[in-house]
Amino acid sequence: MLIELIRSVNKKLKMNDFLETNDIKRFLSLLDKSERIVLTCHVHPDGDAIGSTLGLMHLFRDLGKHATVVVPDTPPRSLRFLPDFNEIAVYTRHDPYCSRLIEESDLIICCDFNTSSRQDHLAPLINSAKSIKILIDHHEEPDMNCELQFSYPEMSSTCELVFRIIAACGFYSDLNHNSATCLLTGLITDTQNFTVNCRNNDIYEILAKLMDKGADKRKIIEECIKACSYWSLKLKSHALSDKLEIFPSHRCGLITINKDELAEYKYEKGDTEGLVNEPLNIRGMVYSVFMREDSDCIKVSCRSKYEFPVSQICKDLFNGGGHRMAAGGEYYGSLEECRNLFINHIKDYDSFIPKKLEKLEIN
Protein backbone atom coordinates (compact mmCIF):
# COMPACT_ATOMS: atom_id res chain seq x y z
CA MET A 1 0.00 0.00 0.00
CA LEU A 2 2.82 2.42 0.90
CA ILE A 3 4.42 2.28 -2.55
CA GLU A 4 1.07 2.85 -4.14
CA LEU A 5 0.50 5.86 -1.89
CA ILE A 6 3.92 7.37 -2.52
CA ARG A 7 3.42 6.99 -6.24
CA SER A 8 0.19 8.88 -5.88
CA VAL A 9 2.12 11.89 -4.50
CA ASN A 10 3.08 12.59 -8.08
CA LYS A 11 -0.56 13.16 -8.93
CA LYS A 12 -0.71 16.16 -6.59
CA LEU A 13 -2.32 19.45 -7.59
CA LYS A 14 0.16 22.15 -8.57
CA MET A 15 -1.28 24.72 -6.19
CA ASN A 16 -0.02 22.62 -3.27
CA ASP A 17 3.61 22.70 -4.35
CA PHE A 18 4.53 24.70 -1.25
CA LEU A 19 4.12 21.54 0.83
CA GLU A 20 7.42 19.70 1.21
CA THR A 21 7.35 16.41 -0.71
CA ASN A 22 9.28 14.76 2.12
CA ASP A 23 6.63 15.83 4.64
CA ILE A 24 3.89 14.38 2.44
CA LYS A 25 5.81 11.13 2.02
CA ARG A 26 6.35 10.94 5.77
CA PHE A 27 2.67 11.65 6.38
CA LEU A 28 1.72 8.81 4.02
CA SER A 29 4.20 6.48 5.60
CA LEU A 30 2.93 7.21 9.15
CA LEU A 31 -0.62 6.80 7.95
CA ASP A 32 0.23 3.52 6.30
CA LYS A 33 1.68 2.16 9.55
CA SER A 34 -1.29 3.24 11.68
CA GLU A 35 -4.48 1.35 12.38
CA ARG A 36 -6.06 3.40 15.15
CA ILE A 37 -6.02 7.15 14.62
CA VAL A 38 -7.22 9.84 17.03
CA LEU A 39 -7.94 13.33 15.69
CA THR A 40 -7.97 16.07 18.28
CA CYS A 41 -8.27 19.87 18.56
CA HIS A 42 -8.43 22.86 20.93
CA VAL A 43 -10.81 23.59 23.81
CA HIS A 44 -14.06 25.44 22.87
CA PRO A 45 -13.81 23.83 19.43
CA ASP A 46 -15.01 25.97 16.52
CA GLY A 47 -15.99 25.17 12.92
CA ASP A 48 -12.38 24.88 11.82
CA ALA A 49 -11.37 22.59 14.71
CA ILE A 50 -14.35 20.26 14.27
CA GLY A 51 -14.33 20.56 10.46
CA SER A 52 -10.68 19.54 10.16
CA THR A 53 -10.83 16.63 12.64
CA LEU A 54 -14.18 15.25 11.48
CA GLY A 55 -13.21 15.82 7.82
CA LEU A 56 -10.08 13.70 8.27
CA MET A 57 -12.04 11.09 10.22
CA HIS A 58 -14.40 10.54 7.28
CA LEU A 59 -11.51 10.23 4.83
CA PHE A 60 -9.49 7.86 7.03
CA ARG A 61 -12.49 5.60 7.61
CA ASP A 62 -12.91 5.29 3.85
CA LEU A 63 -9.24 4.33 3.69
CA GLY A 64 -9.98 1.48 6.08
CA LYS A 65 -8.62 3.00 9.28
CA HIS A 66 -10.18 3.05 12.75
CA ALA A 67 -10.46 6.82 13.17
CA THR A 68 -12.11 8.82 15.98
CA VAL A 69 -12.37 12.47 16.99
CA VAL A 70 -11.58 13.30 20.64
CA VAL A 71 -12.20 16.89 21.78
CA PRO A 72 -11.51 18.63 25.12
CA ASP A 73 -15.07 19.91 25.66
CA THR A 74 -18.51 20.16 24.04
CA PRO A 75 -18.61 21.60 20.51
CA PRO A 76 -21.25 24.29 19.82
CA ARG A 77 -24.75 23.43 18.77
CA SER A 78 -24.26 25.22 15.42
CA LEU A 79 -22.06 22.30 14.29
CA ARG A 80 -24.55 19.54 15.08
CA PHE A 81 -25.54 19.29 11.42
CA LEU A 82 -22.10 17.92 10.50
CA PRO A 83 -22.11 14.25 9.45
CA ASP A 84 -21.43 11.93 12.41
CA PHE A 85 -21.17 14.84 14.83
CA ASN A 86 -22.67 12.51 17.46
CA GLU A 87 -19.66 10.24 17.25
CA ILE A 88 -17.32 12.93 18.58
CA ALA A 89 -15.86 11.82 21.93
CA VAL A 90 -16.03 14.71 24.41
CA TYR A 91 -13.45 14.48 27.21
CA THR A 92 -15.44 16.46 29.81
CA ARG A 93 -18.35 14.02 29.31
CA HIS A 94 -16.69 10.66 28.70
CA ASP A 95 -13.27 10.68 30.32
CA PRO A 96 -12.68 6.87 30.43
CA TYR A 97 -13.82 6.39 26.83
CA CYS A 98 -11.61 9.24 25.57
CA SER A 99 -8.66 7.99 27.63
CA ARG A 100 -9.04 4.51 26.15
CA LEU A 101 -9.20 5.81 22.57
CA ILE A 102 -6.04 7.84 23.15
CA GLU A 103 -4.19 4.98 24.88
CA GLU A 104 -5.08 2.48 22.17
CA SER A 105 -4.22 4.82 19.29
CA ASP A 106 -1.01 4.51 17.30
CA LEU A 107 -1.33 7.93 15.63
CA ILE A 108 -2.67 11.24 16.99
CA ILE A 109 -3.28 14.16 14.64
CA CYS A 110 -3.49 17.53 16.40
CA CYS A 111 -5.56 20.02 14.41
CA ASP A 112 -6.02 23.78 14.71
CA PHE A 113 -3.89 24.58 17.78
CA ASN A 114 -0.24 25.50 18.27
CA THR A 115 0.45 24.78 21.92
CA SER A 116 -0.68 22.01 24.19
CA SER A 117 -2.19 24.39 26.79
CA ARG A 118 -4.95 25.08 24.22
CA GLN A 119 -6.22 21.57 25.00
CA ASP A 120 -6.90 22.40 28.65
CA HIS A 121 -7.55 19.26 30.77
CA LEU A 122 -7.06 16.97 27.77
CA ALA A 123 -3.44 18.13 27.32
CA PRO A 124 -1.76 15.75 29.85
CA LEU A 125 -3.43 12.75 28.24
CA ILE A 126 -2.38 13.67 24.72
CA ASN A 127 1.12 14.64 25.87
CA SER A 128 1.74 11.38 27.71
CA ALA A 129 0.35 9.16 24.93
CA LYS A 130 2.92 6.87 23.35
CA SER A 131 1.42 7.34 19.86
CA ILE A 132 3.18 9.12 17.00
CA LYS A 133 1.93 12.72 16.73
CA ILE A 134 1.36 14.97 13.75
CA LEU A 135 0.45 18.66 13.90
CA ILE A 136 -1.73 20.32 11.24
CA ASP A 137 -2.28 23.98 12.09
CA HIS A 138 -2.35 27.59 10.91
CA HIS A 139 -1.42 29.53 14.08
CA GLU A 140 1.88 31.36 14.44
CA GLU A 141 4.80 30.12 16.57
CA PRO A 142 3.94 26.41 17.01
CA ASP A 143 5.21 24.99 20.26
CA MET A 144 4.35 21.31 20.03
CA ASN A 145 6.26 18.10 20.43
CA CYS A 146 5.22 16.27 17.25
CA GLU A 147 7.10 13.91 14.93
CA LEU A 148 5.76 15.76 11.90
CA GLN A 149 4.47 19.32 11.69
CA PHE A 150 2.42 21.05 9.03
CA SER A 151 2.36 24.61 10.36
CA TYR A 152 1.35 27.26 7.81
CA PRO A 153 0.04 30.52 9.35
CA GLU A 154 -0.65 31.93 5.88
CA MET A 155 -3.52 29.44 5.49
CA SER A 156 -7.02 30.84 6.02
CA SER A 157 -7.95 27.82 8.10
CA THR A 158 -6.74 24.41 9.20
CA CYS A 159 -9.41 22.99 6.88
CA GLU A 160 -7.77 24.70 3.88
CA LEU A 161 -4.45 23.17 4.92
CA VAL A 162 -6.04 19.73 5.40
CA PHE A 163 -7.56 19.93 1.92
CA ARG A 164 -4.16 20.77 0.42
CA ILE A 165 -2.45 17.93 2.30
CA ILE A 166 -5.15 15.50 1.15
CA ALA A 167 -4.74 16.69 -2.45
CA ALA A 168 -0.93 16.53 -2.23
CA CYS A 169 -1.25 12.94 -0.98
CA GLY A 170 -3.27 12.05 -4.08
CA PHE A 171 -6.40 11.42 -1.99
CA TYR A 172 -8.60 13.98 -3.74
CA SER A 173 -10.42 11.23 -5.58
CA ASP A 174 -11.08 9.47 -2.24
CA LEU A 175 -12.67 12.55 -0.69
CA ASN A 176 -16.33 11.78 0.09
CA HIS A 177 -19.11 14.33 0.50
CA ASN A 178 -19.06 14.02 4.29
CA SER A 179 -15.39 15.00 4.36
CA ALA A 180 -16.04 17.83 1.91
CA THR A 181 -18.89 19.17 4.06
CA CYS A 182 -16.68 19.22 7.17
CA LEU A 183 -13.74 20.87 5.42
CA LEU A 184 -15.88 23.55 3.78
CA THR A 185 -17.38 24.32 7.19
CA GLY A 186 -13.95 25.26 8.59
CA LEU A 187 -13.16 27.30 5.50
CA ILE A 188 -16.43 29.20 5.84
CA THR A 189 -16.28 29.79 9.61
CA ASP A 190 -12.61 30.85 9.79
CA THR A 191 -13.02 33.26 6.86
CA GLN A 192 -16.43 34.47 8.08
CA ASN A 193 -17.95 33.35 4.86
CA PHE A 194 -14.99 34.47 2.71
CA THR A 195 -14.80 38.02 4.07
CA VAL A 196 -11.56 37.80 6.12
CA ASN A 197 -8.26 35.86 5.81
CA CYS A 198 -8.73 35.37 2.07
CA ARG A 199 -5.23 36.43 1.06
CA ASN A 200 -4.89 33.71 -1.54
CA ASN A 201 -7.33 33.19 -4.41
CA ASP A 202 -6.67 29.44 -4.28
CA ILE A 203 -9.33 29.20 -1.59
CA TYR A 204 -12.03 29.85 -4.19
CA GLU A 205 -10.68 26.95 -6.21
CA ILE A 206 -10.79 24.83 -3.05
CA LEU A 207 -14.37 26.01 -2.42
CA ALA A 208 -15.33 24.90 -5.94
CA LYS A 209 -13.60 21.53 -5.52
CA LEU A 210 -15.35 20.87 -2.20
CA MET A 211 -18.70 21.80 -3.77
CA ASP A 212 -17.92 19.41 -6.64
CA LYS A 213 -17.58 16.73 -3.98
CA GLY A 214 -21.07 17.48 -2.71
CA ALA A 215 -20.54 20.05 0.07
CA ASP A 216 -23.64 22.27 0.34
CA LYS A 217 -22.38 25.85 0.79
CA ARG A 218 -25.84 27.29 1.35
CA LYS A 219 -26.66 24.79 4.10
CA ILE A 220 -23.34 25.31 5.88
CA ILE A 221 -23.77 29.10 5.93
CA GLU A 222 -27.35 28.74 7.09
CA GLU A 223 -26.45 26.32 9.91
CA CYS A 224 -23.25 27.73 11.33
CA ILE A 225 -23.14 31.41 10.40
CA LYS A 226 -26.77 32.51 10.35
CA ALA A 227 -28.91 30.22 12.50
CA CYS A 228 -29.32 31.23 16.13
CA SER A 229 -31.84 30.87 18.92
CA TYR A 230 -34.38 33.51 19.91
CA TRP A 231 -32.45 34.18 23.15
CA SER A 232 -29.13 34.44 21.39
CA LEU A 233 -30.56 37.12 19.10
CA LYS A 234 -32.00 38.96 22.13
CA LEU A 235 -28.65 38.79 23.94
CA LYS A 236 -26.78 40.16 20.91
CA SER A 237 -29.35 42.96 20.52
CA HIS A 238 -28.93 43.88 24.19
CA ALA A 239 -25.13 43.81 23.84
CA LEU A 240 -25.19 46.15 20.84
CA SER A 241 -27.84 48.56 22.06
CA ASP A 242 -26.89 48.78 25.76
CA LYS A 243 -23.36 47.48 26.24
CA LEU A 244 -21.25 48.74 23.36
CA GLU A 245 -18.70 51.37 24.38
CA ILE A 246 -16.84 53.26 21.71
CA PHE A 247 -13.39 54.75 22.22
CA PRO A 248 -13.24 57.10 19.22
CA SER A 249 -9.62 58.23 19.45
CA HIS A 250 -8.48 54.61 19.78
CA ARG A 251 -10.81 53.41 17.02
CA CYS A 252 -12.01 50.66 19.31
CA GLY A 253 -15.33 49.17 20.35
CA LEU A 254 -15.72 47.23 23.61
CA ILE A 255 -18.60 45.02 24.73
CA THR A 256 -18.73 43.50 28.21
CA ILE A 257 -21.38 41.01 29.31
CA ASN A 258 -21.62 39.93 32.95
CA LYS A 259 -22.97 36.68 34.37
CA ASP A 260 -26.31 38.21 35.40
CA GLU A 261 -26.94 39.30 31.82
CA LEU A 262 -25.99 35.85 30.57
CA ALA A 263 -28.53 34.34 32.98
CA GLU A 264 -31.23 36.88 32.04
CA TYR A 265 -30.87 36.01 28.36
CA LYS A 266 -30.71 32.23 29.02
CA TYR A 267 -27.18 32.06 27.62
CA GLU A 268 -26.04 28.81 26.06
CA LYS A 269 -22.56 28.07 24.76
CA GLY A 270 -22.10 29.60 21.31
CA ASP A 271 -24.82 32.24 21.77
CA THR A 272 -22.38 35.17 21.50
CA GLU A 273 -20.61 33.74 18.44
CA GLY A 274 -20.01 36.47 15.86
CA LEU A 275 -20.97 39.33 18.22
CA VAL A 276 -17.40 40.66 18.40
CA ASN A 277 -17.46 41.32 14.63
CA GLU A 278 -20.44 43.68 14.73
CA PRO A 279 -18.72 46.88 15.96
CA LEU A 280 -16.24 46.54 13.07
CA ASN A 281 -19.09 47.33 10.68
CA ILE A 282 -19.03 50.97 11.83
CA ARG A 283 -17.05 52.94 9.23
CA GLY A 284 -13.64 53.93 10.56
CA MET A 285 -13.59 51.34 13.37
CA VAL A 286 -10.28 49.44 13.59
CA TYR A 287 -10.77 46.86 16.30
CA SER A 288 -13.32 45.32 18.59
CA VAL A 289 -13.02 43.63 21.99
CA PHE A 290 -15.61 41.43 23.67
CA MET A 291 -15.41 40.30 27.31
CA ARG A 292 -17.78 37.66 28.71
CA GLU A 293 -17.97 36.65 32.36
CA ASP A 294 -17.87 32.84 32.20
CA SER A 295 -18.11 30.66 35.31
CA ASP A 296 -14.35 30.14 35.60
CA CYS A 297 -12.81 33.21 33.93
CA ILE A 298 -13.41 36.26 31.76
CA LYS A 299 -13.28 35.12 28.14
CA VAL A 300 -11.85 37.78 25.86
CA SER A 301 -12.34 37.80 22.11
CA CYS A 302 -10.92 40.37 19.65
CA ARG A 303 -11.22 41.14 15.94
CA SER A 304 -9.61 43.85 13.82
CA LYS A 305 -9.15 45.31 10.35
CA TYR A 306 -6.18 47.00 8.61
CA GLU A 307 -3.67 44.45 10.00
CA PHE A 308 -4.12 45.87 13.54
CA PRO A 309 -2.50 43.23 15.82
CA VAL A 310 -5.17 42.20 18.34
CA SER A 311 -3.15 39.02 18.93
CA GLN A 312 -0.58 41.28 20.62
CA ILE A 313 -3.20 42.71 23.00
CA CYS A 314 -4.35 39.19 23.88
CA LYS A 315 -0.78 38.06 24.44
CA ASP A 316 0.18 41.11 26.52
CA LEU A 317 -2.92 41.42 28.68
CA PHE A 318 -5.01 38.25 28.57
CA ASN A 319 -2.61 35.33 28.55
CA GLY A 320 -3.81 34.44 25.07
CA GLY A 321 -2.97 34.81 21.41
CA GLY A 322 -4.29 33.67 18.06
CA HIS A 323 -4.15 35.32 14.68
CA ARG A 324 -3.13 38.92 14.06
CA MET A 325 -6.73 39.99 13.34
CA ALA A 326 -8.71 37.33 15.24
CA ALA A 327 -7.47 36.52 18.71
CA GLY A 328 -8.62 35.65 22.19
CA GLY A 329 -7.55 35.09 25.75
CA GLU A 330 -8.66 34.64 29.34
CA TYR A 331 -8.52 36.81 32.42
CA TYR A 332 -8.69 35.50 35.97
CA GLY A 333 -10.35 38.21 38.08
CA SER A 334 -13.51 40.29 37.91
CA LEU A 335 -15.05 41.62 34.72
CA GLU A 336 -14.47 45.15 35.97
CA GLU A 337 -10.76 44.47 36.56
CA CYS A 338 -10.50 42.97 33.10
CA ARG A 339 -12.17 46.00 31.52
CA ASN A 340 -9.95 48.38 33.53
CA LEU A 341 -6.81 46.51 32.54
CA PHE A 342 -7.68 46.95 28.89
CA ILE A 343 -8.69 50.62 29.23
CA ASN A 344 -5.48 51.40 31.14
CA HIS A 345 -3.42 49.98 28.27
CA ILE A 346 -5.57 50.99 25.31
CA LYS A 347 -3.25 53.86 24.33
CA ASP A 348 -0.27 51.47 24.10
CA TYR A 349 -1.68 50.17 20.82
CA ASP A 350 -2.53 53.50 19.14
CA SER A 351 0.64 53.36 17.04
CA PHE A 352 -0.84 50.41 15.10
CA ILE A 353 -3.84 52.45 13.92
CA PRO A 354 -3.30 53.37 10.27
CA LYS A 355 -2.46 57.06 9.85
CA LYS A 356 -4.83 57.68 6.99
CA LEU A 357 -8.24 56.38 7.89
CA GLU A 358 -11.79 57.32 7.04
CA LYS A 359 -13.70 59.29 9.66
CA LEU A 360 -15.24 57.23 12.46
CA GLU A 361 -18.99 57.50 11.96
CA ILE A 362 -20.52 57.53 15.41
CA ASN A 363 -22.79 60.54 15.27
Asked if 71 and 49 touch (Cβ cutoff 8 Å), the reply is yes
Q: How many beta carbons lie within 10 A of that of residue 274, not counting itself?
A: 18
Of the candidate residues 34, 40, 178, 301, the single one contacting ligand 5GP (CB under 6 A)? 301
Q: What is the largest CA-CA distance in the chain?
A: 67
Could you tell which of Mn ion, ligand 5GP, none binds residue 156, using a CB distance below 5 to 8 A set by kind? none
- The nearest distance, CB 9 to ligand 5GP, in angstroms, is 30
Buried b / exposed e across 73-86, counting CB within 10 Å, b at 16+? Answer: bebbbbbebbbeee
Of the candidate residues 160, 190, 223, 278, the single one contacting Mn ion (CB under 5 A)? 190
- The nearest distance, CB 139 to Mn ion, in angstroms, is 7
Q: How many beta carbons lie within 10 A of that of residue 161, not counting itself?
A: 26
Interacting residues with ligand 5GP between 101 and 120 (CB under 6 A): 118
By CB under 6 A, tell whether 270 contacts ligand 5GP.
Answer: no
Of the candidate residues 133, 139, 213, 292, the single one contacting ligand 5GP (CB under 6 A)? 139
Overall residue count recorded for the chain in this entry:
363
96 phi-psi bin (left φ>0, alpha ψ -120 to 50, beta other)? alpha
DSSP state letter for 297: S
Asked if 299 and 269 touch (Cβ cutoff 8 Å), the reply is no
By CB under 6 A, tell whether 320 contacts ligand 5GP.
Answer: yes
- The nearest distance, CB 157 to ligand 5GP, in angstroms, is 9
Of the candidate residues 27, 48, 152, 288, the single one contacting Mn ion (CB under 5 A)? 48
Distance between CA atoms of residues 21 and 17, nearest Å? 8
Closer Cβ to ligand 5GP, 72 or 321, answer by number: 321
Could you tell which of ligand 5GP, Mn ion, none binds residue 65, using a CB distance below 5 to 8 A set by kind? none
- The nearest distance, CB 110 to Mn ion, in angstroms, is 12
The span of 83-91, 255-263, 323-331, 335-343 binding ligand 5GP (CB under 6 A) equals 323-331
- Picking from 266, 192, 259, the residue whose alpha carbon sits closest to that of residue 235 is 266
- The nearest distance, CB 327 to ligand 5GP, in angstroms, is 4
By CB under 6 A, tell whether 326 contacts ligand 5GP.
Answer: yes
By CB under 6 A, tell whether 327 contacts ligand 5GP.
Answer: yes
- The nearest distance, CB 190 to ligand 5GP, in angstroms, is 7
Phi, then psi, of 235 in degrees rounded to 5: -65, -45
Distances (CA, A) of 157 to 9, 54, 108: 23, 14, 20
- Picking from 295, 250, 244, the residue whose alpha carbon sits closest to that of residue 269 is 295
How many residues bind to ligand 5GP according to rule CB under 6 A? 12
Distance between CA atoms of residues 270 and 228, nearest Å? 9
- The nearest distance, CB 323 to Mn ion, in angstroms, is 8
The span of 14-22, 316-324, 335-343, 351-359 binding ligand 5GP (CB under 6 A) equals 316-324
SS3 category, 69: strand
| Interacting residues with Mn ion (CB under 5 A) | 48, 112, 157-158, 190
| Interacting residues with ligand 5GP (CB under 6 A) | 118, 139, 301, 320-323, 326-330
